[in-house]
């Protein structure tokens, strides 16, 4: 969302509000980083609502089933023994509201009382604002739209270091980046993995072997290992990894889509290396914000030829089509594709 000149971005504004103790009447929380959404929602609860009067001044609704009357009553009733009340509405589609709200929603939200702090919180629904609507044009003047995206790698590394210190341990920036590579960039997931790695460490420092021993890799990380196994001539290892992923209830098409995307990224990294493109160029090409991941994919691409990557991309495209259009054993189709890739690599090295 474009930000008006002089108007702070959503998260900056929210942080300032929490620091100053002066709150907007309306917040819209959206984005994929649930950890941050919940953190800031809890901070609002702590600062806006007195615990002793929470039964009166904290009102929460699920968007499904919410009526205009319920919302109006919550907005119009004064807070009890406090200056403000907090109203939280989860997964209500503001920009495609139920028919009952068609004529009243704009009026309800355009002139909220000073004693109201209303939060529309999106978890299941995307919550992306529709800038073409009258409602958006009315709300953008006063509402605080906060999109909680995944943090950049450098921010996540610093956050991991703080979390680790709180558990009485240390971790190097490189090992923190490796944990993100292995476990993904969801802070909710990472918080659990950090605790596991810290518990496993006997030295007070979380090292790579601690992470490998107890942390659960995300699909992208497993596929990275799988492709490395193919390029190292370890076909049996690659097939075993496919079997493990399927045993963990991962969908076969999703597994192969991830394999195909990884091959495409290797191809992009090879082309980037040939053209002497730098790390930033590669990150843009593969759609990644992680310098650590970019370095890993570049190192992996250097171990294979451009010709093999062309063959691999072509075979992946054929198998992808077959998986989506055939009722044949999907695991076998994936394994046959991997065998073709392994054979092509072996032939190229003769």
Per-residue pLDDT of the chain (350 residues; tens, 9 = 90+): 333 333 457 899 999 999 999 999 999 999 999 999 999 999 999 999 999 999 999 999 999 999 999 999 999 999 999 999 999 999 999 999 999 998 899 999 988 999 999 999 999 998 888 888 888 888 988 899 999 999 999 999 999 999 999 999 999 999 999 999 999 999 999 999 999 999 999 999 999 999 999 999 999 999 999 999 999 989 999 999 999 999 999 999 999 999 999 999 999 999 999 999 889 999 999 988 899 999 999 999 999 999 999 999 999 999 999 998 888 899 999 999 999 999 999 887 65
81 and 192: one domain?
no
CATH number of the domain bearing residue 189: 1.10.8.60
50 and 111: one domain?
yes
94 and 143: one domain?
yes
Please state the pTM of the whole predicted model: 0.85
103 and 201: one domain?
no
208 and 310: one domain?
no
CATH number of the domain bearing residue 58: 3.40.50.300
Residue at 224 is within a domain: yes
Domain of residue 293 covers 219-348
Choose the final residue of a domain: 114, 147, 180. Answer: 147
3-state SS, one letter per residue, for the chain: CCCCCCCCCHHHHHHHHHHHCCCCCEEEEECCCHHHHHHHHHHHHHHHCCHHHHHHHEEEEECCCCCHHHHHHHHHCCCCCCCCEEEEEECCCCCCCCHHHCCCHHHHHHCCCCCEEEEEECCCCCCCCCCCCHHHHHHCCCCEEEECCCCCHHHHHHHHHHHHHHCCCEECHHHHHHHHHHHCCCHHHHHHHHHHHHHHCCCCEECHHHHHHHCCCCHHHHHHHHHHHHHCCCHHHHHHHHHHHHHCCCCHHHHHHHHHHHHHHHHHHHHHHHCCCCHHHHHHHHCCCCHHHHHHHHHHHCCCCHHHHHHHHHHHHHHHHHHHHCCCCHHHHHHHHHHHHHHHHHHHCC
Residue at 5 is within a domain: no
How many folded domains does the chain comprise? 3
């Amino acid at each position: 969302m474009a930000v008006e000149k002089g108007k702070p971005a959503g998260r900056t504004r929210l942080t300032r509000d929490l620091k100053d103790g002066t709150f907007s009447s309306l917040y819209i929380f959206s984005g994929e980083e649930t950890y941050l959404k919940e953190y800031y929602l809890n901070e609002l609860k702590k600062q806006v609502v007195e615990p002793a009067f929470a039964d009166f001044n904290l009102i929460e609704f699920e968007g499904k089933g919410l009526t205009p009357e319920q919302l109006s009553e919550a907005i119009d009733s004064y807070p009890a023994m406090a200056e403000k009340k907090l109203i939280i509405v989860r997964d209500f589609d503001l920009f495609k509201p139920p028919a009952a709200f068609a004529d009243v929603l704009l009026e309800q939200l355009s002139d909220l009382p000073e004693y109201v702090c209303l939060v529309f919180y999106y978890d299941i629904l995307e919550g992306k604002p529709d800038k073409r609507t009258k409602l958006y044009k009315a709300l953008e003047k006063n509402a605080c739209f906060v999109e909680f995206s995944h943090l950049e790698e450098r921010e996540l590394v610093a956050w991991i270091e703080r979390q680790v210190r709180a558990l009485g341990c240390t971790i190097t920036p490189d090992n923190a980046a490796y944990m993100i590579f292995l476990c993904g960039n969801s802070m909710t997931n990472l918080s659990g993995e950090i605790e596991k790695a810290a518990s496993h460490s006997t030295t007070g420092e979380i090292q790579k072997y601690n992470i490998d021993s107890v942390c659960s890799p995300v699909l992208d990380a497993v596929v990275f290992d799988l492709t490395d196994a193919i390029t190292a001539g370890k076909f049996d290892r690659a097939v075993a990894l496919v079997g493990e992923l399927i045993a963990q209830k991962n969908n076969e098409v999703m597994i192969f889509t991830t394999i195909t995307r990884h091959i495409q990224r290797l191809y992009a990294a090879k082309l980037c290396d040939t053209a002497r493109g730098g790390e930033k160029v590669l990150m843009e090409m593969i759609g990644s914000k992680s310098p650590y991941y970019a370095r890993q994919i570049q190192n992996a691409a250097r171990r294979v030829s451009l010709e093999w990557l062309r063959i691999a991309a072509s075979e992946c495209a054929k198998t992808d089509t077959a998986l989506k259009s055939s009722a044949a054993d999907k695991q076998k189709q994936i394994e046959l594709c991997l065998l073709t890739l392994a054979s092509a690599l072996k032939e190229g090295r003769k």
